[in-house]
Amino acid sequence: MVVHAVVDSPVGELTLVARDGALSGLYMTGQRYRPAEENFGARDDTSLREVAHQLAEYFAGTRTTFDVPLDLAGTPFQRAVWSALCEIPYGETVSYGELAAGLGRPTAARAVGAANGHNPVGIIVPCHRVVGSSGDLTGYGGGVERKRHLLAFEAHTLTSTRSAGRAG
Any idea what the CATH number is for the domain that residue 38 is in? 3.30.160.70
> Element (H or E) spanning 18, and its range?
strand 14-19
Report residue 69's pLDDT band, with 50, 70 and 90 as the boundaries: very high
Q: What is the pLDDT of residues 91-128, one digit of tens each?
A: 999 999 999 999 999 999 999 999 998 999 999 999 99
Domain co-membership, 150 together with 85: yes
Domain co-membership, 153 together with 99: yes
CATH code of the domain in which 154 resides: 1.10.10.10
Domain membership flag for residue 70 = no
Domain co-membership, 82 together with 138: yes
Domain co-membership, 88 together with 134: yes
Domain co-membership, 51 together with 81: no
Amino acid occupying residue 127? C
Average pLDDT over residues 70-99: 94
Is the pLDDT at 163 greater than 70, yes or no? no
Domain membership flag for residue 158 = yes
Q: What is the pLDDT of residue 161?
A: 59
Is the pLDDT at 43 greater than 90, yes or no? yes
Active site residues: 127
Domain co-membership, 51 together with 85: no
Query: Which range of residues forms the domain containing residue 19?
Result: 2-60
Domain co-membership, 120 together with 155: yes
Q: What is the pLDDT of residue 145?
A: 84
Q: What is the pLDDT of residue 142?
A: 74
Q: State the average pLDDT for the chain.
A: 90
Domain co-membership, 54 together with 86: no
Contact (CB, 8 A) for 74 and 115: yes
Domain co-membership, 98 together with 144: yes
Residue 100, number of CB atoms within 10 A of its CB: 22
Comparing CA positions, the residue from 33, 35, 32, 117 lying closest to residue 4 is: 35
Q: What is the pLDDT of residue 147?
A: 85
Q: What is the pLDDT of residue 112?
A: 93
What is the phi-psi region of residue 104: left when phi exceeds 0, alpha when psi lies from -120 to 50, beta otherwise? Answer: left
Domain count, the chain: 2
Average pLDDT over residues 135-150: 78
62, with CB counted inside 10 A (0-12, 13-18, 19+), is exposed
Domain membership flag for residue 68 = no
Domain co-membership, 81 together with 147: yes
